[in-house]
Amino acid sequence: MASRHLAKEQPKTFAFSAEGEKQVKYWLKKYPKGKQRSAVIPMLWIAQKDHGGWVPEAAMRVIGDRLDMAYIRVLEVATFYTMFNLKPVGKHLIQVCGTTPCMLRGSGDLIKVCQSRIGSAGSISADGNFSWAEVECLGACVNAPMVQVSNSDGDLYYEDLDEASMNALLDELASGKAPIPGPRVDRVTSAPTGESITLTDASLFDGSRAKKLKKIPNAPAKTKKAAAPKKAAPKAKSATGKGGK
Amino acid sequence: MTDLRKVNIDGKEYEMPGRYTLMQACEEAGAEIPRFCYHERLSVAGNCRMCLVEWVGAPKPMASCAMSLNDLRPNRDGSPANIRTNSDTVRKAREGVMEFLLINHPLDCPICDQGGECDLQDQAIGYGRSETRYDEDKRAVEEKNMGPLVKTVMTRCIQCTRCVRFITEVAGVEELGLVNRGEHAEITTYLQANLTSELSGNVIDLCPVGALTSRPYAFSARPWELRKTETIDVMDALGSAIRVDARGSEVMRILPRLNDEINEEWISDKTRFVWDGLKRQRLDKPFVRVNGKLRPASWDEALATVAEKLQGDPDKIGAIAGDLADMESVKALKDLMENLGVRSIDCRQDGAHIGEQGRSGYIFNSGIAAIEEADAILLIGTNPRVEAPVLNARIRKAWLEGDAQIALLGAKSDLTYPHTYFGNAPSDLESLSTKKHPFITAMRKAKNPMIIVGMDALSRADGAQILRAVGKLAAEWKLVREDWNGFNVLHSAAGRVGALDLGFVPLKGGMNTGKILKAAQSGELDTLFLLGADELPMDQIKDTFVVYLGSHGDAGAHRADVILPGAAYTEKNASFANTEGRWQQTRAATAPKGDAKEDWKIIRALSDHAGRTLPYDTVQDLRKTMSTPKDEVFDPAKLGAAGKIKAAVFAPSSRSFWFTNPIARASEVMAQCASAQVTQLEAAE
């Protein structure tokens, strides 16, 4: 990740969209009075969504004014988190995970695809459709290698990619389709590929192997006298986790 | 404090308050702890890791600045925790930290202005490895603009964030920040705007490396070439402790000294960067006006000319002492004038209505350090941020750490701390105490209430009436108690309190500044003696013979018929009383320029020429004749004069922070600051 700078060409003004404004209000309400500055990250995020995927400098000033916060403090947050793009991005921002599990499983190939089809990291493709960046772990290691695509539809994960499926994904995106997120191999989410090889015995699930419960372990011995002290009753209930109404 | 903890430091057992940090405890025990990011007057950041110490038994070394004795638990056998500051572990840890800090630090000490007084340099020698093991490329960081005062070489930055914390916490303007992160972290202002704080120069001292250095001083001297003189400042009425570094006959720079009673360890930018004004526009020989033109003259000729004029009708002679006049010269001038029978003398060239009703009526009674104890502060007709930035930082501290409530009645301005604003109509003072407002209630109930009244209020035509109204408020809110006196006057002139202490005010039947000027305008005044007084409407003085004694060719010297070249505050051993009434002395760092002499000596020589020889030959003899006036019982309600306050509002002071005295007006750096400020204001609009 190279040093992050603000884009040279910046819009003079910025205003939240009607939808964005609604979300801003939600976030401002969420924090206790006097702690509204906590909303700086959500507000930057909303501004980024409102402004085609990147945060212009004018938006930082707007947010600073809204939160009664020095502009430099907003800038500090915006430059600290790499999820905020400070320069224009393509319609689809491809974020290729390059951390160890993905790297071992072939994220290098995905990066090569990006480099050949889009250009160097941070640049926007000629048609304006794509830009890409290598990012740190996105937490989908079990489906490595993967990319996150940020566009007007949201931030979607495309997983278990290889060179061919990556190319296909870019083709689909370029043609204006909305590809279904998820694994690109034969599996459901992070379940094993192909057929199950464990826990295949049907009797495991029909209840036939269950033994009848004779005694609840650690349950208190039944008191003989019915007039037991009332105080103890709720305690006994909670100990078994059962009973009551 | 009963909360004492036992701790074993370097093999010796101590008992110390539990709130002490390990660093404080170790220092108390006599150990030296290296540090970069930690600073006594700033919040703890704990990011440089240089102050690591060993807590025996702990798996890793501890950052001693961020851990208190309360955080330690005793050893298993119950004996106090063992802290080591000189073990092998500590030595290794320090070497490691030092090595990491030096990875990206350029080895440009020979061309770095910090060289010779650099914490990193010193600590690398003391605690670092002898050689580098790092072969990779170092990172480089772009320079950042921070205005005309602070020069940046950001590649040298070690991200201690002292500057960020100072600007945010003490100066109170959030302008510096750390952007990006990790290896790419950089200190910058927002979009590289100029720093606007009047205290911004202090980041130069705080920077432990050469990342932030003084731009006007850049590449001009090495610390070991400089002759250091400990003296005091006269740019405002605080009398901050400073150190003047000179080489030969030139002042090279000015640095703050520690004085917890006044300036802690900060000084304003005007104090710090005014020194180039000491080299420009200097009066270095006597001048006499002949046929409308000033021409150089000998001392004898100039003094004889003045002496002859002083022989005239004493009622037609006046003397005005300026803002930078030292007490010795004021005393000598007063004695001379009294000797001649002159009664029209005044030291209040702005016409402030103070100084004739007892000492408590014109000083900052509570003292500057006591601001921290105040819990309600009312500012009247003052803008401390401009008039005394260091004092303003103290008020901010009272708000930040002591939760003091602050209110302002005066020209609206950004004081760097939240305050109640009571408008800018002085006539509101009379009804202020009847107002139903939480601040007024707080003022009544406060343990240590404080009023600070400034020169904007007292130098108005109705200043005496305003003073009466303020005094009444002070009496009503019981600001003056046995153990507390919260009635404070904030002066803007360094020489004012000293001159008032010596009674440099119109003697019985004499004229004050306003009347002297009127007489000069109407031609009733024959001779006017200006002791460094430049802030007067010189064009009003018509045919009067003007004698100017001062150090700089400013307004007074331009109008003068005889110029007697005096010494600036860095060139004389002179006394000044600050706004608290604290008598302090400057020390000469260099000799006066050219033929110039110390001011009191000139007046002493003049008295000789006038045949009225003053009875002292040495400055010690002169000082023996000076004494503070005795303070009678102080009743604030009797201050000033009864009468109606005019409706005119407090106007924002027309004098710029950068141009308040002749030395500052001669300084190019001050002019740059002023124009940078104007450009920034225009850009913001």
* Residue percentage of chain A with pLDDT more than 90: 73
CA distance A17 to A2: 31
Residues of A in contact with B191 (CB under 8 A): 6, 57
Q: Report yes or no: B157 and B141 within 8 Å, Cβ to Cβ.
A: yes
Residues of B in contact with A72 (CB under 8 A): 174-177, 179, 188-190
**Residue holding tokens 């798996």?**
B59
Task: With CB atoms and an 8 Å threshold, state whether A76 touches B175.
Answer: no
A37 touching B (Cβ < 8 Å): no
DSSP-derived 3-state class of residue B96 = helix
pLDDT of residue A223: 66
Domains of chain A and CATH, by start: 18-80 (1.10.10), 92-183 (3.40.30.10)
Q: Which of B180, B181, B190 minimises the CB distance to A72?
A: B190
Q: Which of B175, B181, B191 minimises the CB distance to A80?
A: B181
For residue A100, the distance in angstroms to the closest alpha carbon of chain B comes to: 20
pLDDT (tens digit, 9 = 90+) per residue, A79-114?
999 999 999 999 999 999 999 999 999 999 999 999
A168 touching B (Cβ < 8 Å): no
Q: Looking at chain A from residue 38 to 57, which residues have their Cβ under 8 Å from any Cβ of chain B? A: 57
What is the Cβ-side half-sphere exposure of residue A139, based on CA atoms within 13 angstroms? 1
Residues of A in contact with B159 (CB under 8 A): none
| Residue A48 phi, psi (nearest 5) | -65, -40
Task: With CB atoms and an 8 Å threshold, state whether A80 touches B189.
Answer: no
Select the more confidently predicted residue: B270 or A198.
B270
pLDDT of residue A226: 54
Residues of chain B with pLDDT under 50: none
Which residue is closest to A70 within chain B, CA to CA? B174
Query: CA geometry: angle at A180 spanning A177 and A185, to 5°?
Result: 125
Q: Tell me the pLDDT band of A244, cut-offs 50, 70 and 90.
A: very low
pLDDT of residue A5: 87
pLDDT of residue B3: 87
Q: Which of A2, A6, A76 minimises the CB distance to B177?
A: A76
For residue A87, the distance in angstroms to the closest alpha carbon of chain B comes to: 14
DSSP-derived 3-state class of residue B299 = helix
Task: With CB atoms and an 8 Å threshold, state whether A57 touches B191.
Answer: yes
What number is the ipTM of this complex? 0.91
Residues of A in contact with B188 (CB under 8 A): 72
Average pLDDT, chain A: 89
Is the CA virtual torsion A100, A102, A107, A111 positive or negative? negative
pLDDT (tens digit, 9 = 90+) per residue, B529-541?
999 999 999 999 9
Task: Give the CA radius of gyration of chain A.
Answer: 27
CA distance B352 to B464: 8
pLDDT of residue A232: 47
Question: Global pTM?
Answer: 0.92
pLDDT of residue A240: 45
CA distance B501 to B244: 27
**Residue holding tokens 């063992």?**
B82
Task: Give the CA radius of gyration of chain B.
Answer: 28
Which residue is closest to A60 within chain B, CA to CA? B190
For residue B264, the distance in angstroms to the closest alpha carbon of chain A comes to: 27
Angle in degrees, 0-180, between the axes of helices B599-609 and B299-310, rounded to the nearest 10: 60
